[in-house]
Structure 1
Amino acid sequence: MDIEIFMIAFAMSIDAFSVSFGVGCKYNSYRHYFRLAWHFGLFQFFMPLIGAFIGKELYQFSNRLNIIAALILFFIAYNMFKESMKSTEEKCYIKDPTKGFSLIILSVATSMDALGVGIALPLLKGSIFLNAGIIGVVCLIMSLAGVYFGSKSKNFFGGFAEKVGALVLVTIGIKFLVI
C-alpha cells in the first residue's frame, strides 16, 4: 500500500477534524461522535469515487489526465492555504448541528475537496475503491479525534475553543463561495 494515499486522506480529513473539534466543544455525547464520524467518513468515501468516475470520463477526451488532476490538486491546495490565512467573523451553533439537514450540509462541505482529489485517484496505485475506502476510514478516525479533542478543550479553553471551531466553519463556508 502506498503512503501517498494516506497523506492524501489525512489532508482531506483536516476540514472534518476542524468541524468535529468545533462541534465537540458543545455536542459530545456518543451520538454526536457516531453521527459526525459516520457521515463525514461516508461522504469522504463517496466523493472520491464520484471524482474518479469524472476523471475516467475526462480521460476519454484527454490523455493528459495527470495535468488536469495536478491542476485541480494545486487549486485545492492553494485554496486550503489561502483559507488558512483568512480571518472571518464568528458564528456559533444555535441548535445541534449533528442532526438533519445541518449534518448533511456539513458532510458535503467537508468532503467537496475529496471530489476534486477523486479525479486523481485513477492515477494512483491500487484499487480506486480501496483508496476511497482508506480516505473514508481516515476521515472517520479524524472526526472521532476532533470531537474528542473538542470536548476536552472546553476544560482548558472554555468558550474560546468553540468560537475557534465556529470560525473554522465560517472559513470553510467562505471557501466554497470563493471556489
Structure 2
Amino acid sequence: MNLEALIGELITLFMMAFALGMDAFSVGLGMGMIKLRLRQIFYIGLTIGLFHIWMPLAGMWIGKVLSGTFGHIASLAGGALLIILGVQMILASFKKDQESMITPVGFGLLFFALSVSLDSFSVGLTLGIYGARTLLTILMFGVVSMLLTWTGLLIGRRVQTWLGTYGEALGGSILLGFGLKLIFPM
C-alpha cells in the first residue's frame, strides 16, 4: 500500500472515529453538568474508550465472516446500516427528552458506555465487510472516543447543553455521508 492510500485510510478512519465519538461527546456534555470529580471523568473516558475498542472489534470480526459469504450484498447492507445510524443520530439530536438520569458509576457507567458505543459495533461490522485494518481501526475508535468523552465531560462543567445537540447531529451527518458513499461509489 502506498503512502497516499495509507494517509487516505487514516483520514477516513479518523473521520469515522470522530463521528462515533461525537455521540459520547454530546452525552458527556450533559453528564459533565453533574459536577464530576476529575478521577471520575478519567474513568468514564477510559471505559468509553475501551467499549469503543471492543464493540467495533466484535463487529469487524462478524463483518469479515459475512463478507466472505455474501460479498457485494453485505457491502450494500453495511452502507444502509451507516445511513440508518446517521439518520437516527440526526433525529435524536432534535429530541429534547433525551436527558440521561443514569449516574456514571458502577453498573450505570457500564450501561452508559454500552449505550454510546453500540453504533461502533455496526460501523465495525461495515468495516469488517470492507476489510479495514483491524488494529488501526479499533485503536483509532478507542482513542478518539476517549478523548472526545473527556472533552465533553470537561466542557460540560462549564457551558450550556446546546452544543450537545449540534455535536450529535454532526456525528450523524458524517455517518450518513459515509453510508451514501458506500452505497453509491464514485
TM-score, structure 1 as length reference? 0.78
* Alpha-carbon distance in structure 1 between the residues aligned to 2:98 and 2:151: 25
Give the letter aligned to residue 88 of structure 1.
D
Report the CA distance shift for 1:132/1:150 in structure 2 as closer, same or farther (over 3 A). same
Counterpart residue number, 2:181: none
Identical aligned pairs, as a percentage?
30
Counterpart residue number, 2:78: 69
* Alpha-carbon distance in structure 1 between the residues aligned to 2:98 and 2:112: 19
Unaligned runs of at least 5 residues, structure 2: 1-6, 168-186
Q: Kindly indicate whether the alpha-carbon contact (under 8 Å) linking 2:26 and 2:163 is maintained by their aligned counterparts in 1.
A: no
Deviates most, 112-121 or 19-28: 19-28
CA apart distance, 1:144: 0.8
Unaligned runs of at least 5 residues, structure 1: 169-179
Pairwise CA RMSD of aligned residues?
Answer: 2.2
Q: Kindly indicate whether the alpha-carbon contact (under 8 Å) linking 2:67 and 2:75 is maintained by their aligned counterparts in 1.
A: no
1:130-174 Cα deviation digits (max 9, x unpaired): 111101100010011011101122xxx5xxx4x997xx9xxxxxx
TM-score, structure 2 as length reference? 0.75
Superposed structure 1 runs of 4+ greater than 6 Å apart: none
Matched, 1:45 2:53: yes
How many equivalent residue pairs?
Answer: 155
Match of 1:151 among 151, 154, 157: 157
Match of 2:122 among 110, 116, 121: 116
1:30-68 Cα deviation digits (max 9, x unpaired): 212111110111101111101101111212320123212
Q: Kindly indicate whether the alpha-carbon contact (under 8 Å) linking 1:51 and 1:115 is maintained by their aligned counterparts in 2.
A: yes
